[in-house]
Chain A
């Protein structure tokens, strides 16, 4: 388990990581999500000890990672951003070199080579120069290095960046497999990736955590903000009565041109309002020309959350204490105008 407490780091005048706290629990795959420049890499670099934080602490199993750095680096496997490798070395040489620096014994080395060749699919490239490998294979070599010494914690900085869809699937499967036994923290700026892989997601932007929640929770919150788009034709269209009867609905937008009416209604995710609504409308002799539900995609949520300027009340990490209350707060903070903008 890794605990991050009030971690800060700036470069020059820019605060790359601004007083963040979170926990990566054992046996989970945690996704670290944020746009480029959000502070993901800086945070991860501090967690592996490559960067020294300005303030705050990083605890690995209740002990500061700075206490005994040598021991810390034994229990962490790290895939750095852009996966730097020695291009003029052969794959097996790199593994041997790093194993020697890690002081792994021979029997363990042979066993692990077999394991990483098998799990990372390195069979064909074990005796090939790393500089000549395709990006997919490079990434696998990087992963092989990260898991080689069998660390309890894996920190992977954008493990699938720059890969083609097939390679992405392979790497994801591998990470999923690894996640069954190990604590994994991976960063990404791709929503689906985090959704597909992780149990937990931490969204970070401009050095601050804006969401720290289980992925399922994020899902309910996603459904919670669906928007009903309704277009009607008819005389004296008035839905006030219907809306009063359903207080959980709220009219977000209304415009009309002669007898053509356009409405947007915010609907809670667990409520299927369409049958009642269409019955109500047809009973009054109006004509529905268009009716559809717009679910806000994870992408849009991500966009909304990380575009501070378009959203008045960004949720600060400190406010997100209880998982239950989180989604409610998030809902109320989403600006419907923004979703409309997305659609148009």
Chain B
């Protein structure tokens, strides 16, 4: 457990020193800010639902950008050899990486508080329950995307490839909702269960369903497990 924190802290500190992190952050905030501005000032709604939708879409592109280097970079620089011969479990590495990327996303999300402040100052009849639950939904979905990203990063030493794979998997979960209309009704019922949108919509409406929480937790665990498995397949020693 301590190893996970150590790895996460170091990764986070290094990320916060890198210029690329700030470029990614700035882009993210500019786009989500534009979405917020148009929702609040054009449509004049004192809610964050539309911003949350935009952020969820942005996650599909930006989280893979944050996670792509996590394990791939260790691999390409060879430091994975250093790391995996330490007295730690390989799963510690995976969870450390997930935690650090998750922290970065939370840092990003903390800027949403500014939007909240704007609404609190100018808005009326604000439904805080919906705003808070929607935020929690975003946090959950972010964790799932991060886990997918770290898994993609564990597959090869090529960061670009890691980005593309993460984008493809995250995109799949995101896009399902739009494909459902094309599917026969019989399988729609089962397929919609895999849609992130389907599970997020509850949060955004202000409804907390344990099944939604469990779904995102399960996705996170599955991809974290797959990443660990990928590392183990090369190095079986640490956890025999």
Q: CB within 8 Å of B: which residues of A?
A: 45, 48-52, 65-66, 69-74, 76, 78, 80-82, 84-89, 93, 97-98, 100-103, 145
Contact = CB atoms under 8 A, between A and B. Distances in A.
B2 A103 contact: yes
Interface residues of B, number: 27
Given A66-B240, A84-B79, A85-B79, A97 B87 contact: no
Given A80-B85, A84-B81, A100-B6, 9 more contacts: A49-B85, A65-B237, A69-B238, A73-B85, A74-B87, A84-B77, A84-B78, A101-B83, A102-B87
A88 B237 contact: no
Contacts of A103: 2, 87
Contact of B78 (A80, A89, A98, A101): A80
Contacts of A45: 81
Given A86-B79, A103-B2, A52 B87 contact: no
B234 A51 contact: yes
A50 B235 contact: yes
B77 A101 contact: no
Contacts of B88: 70, 101
Interface centre among B81, B236, B239 (most CB of A within 10 A): B81
B6 A52 contact: no
A50 B86 CA distance: 10
Contact of B6 (A50, A87, A97): A97
Closest 8 CB pairs of A and B: A84-B78, A49-B237, A52-B236, A70-B87, A100-B6, A73-B87, A80-B81, A84-B79
Chain A facing B: main interface SS: loop
Given A65-B237, A69-B238, A84 B82 contact: yes
Interface string B34-60: 000000000000000000000000000
Nearest to A58: B237
A101 B14 contact: no
B85 A50 contact: yes
Interface string B53-94: 000000000000000000000000111011111111100000
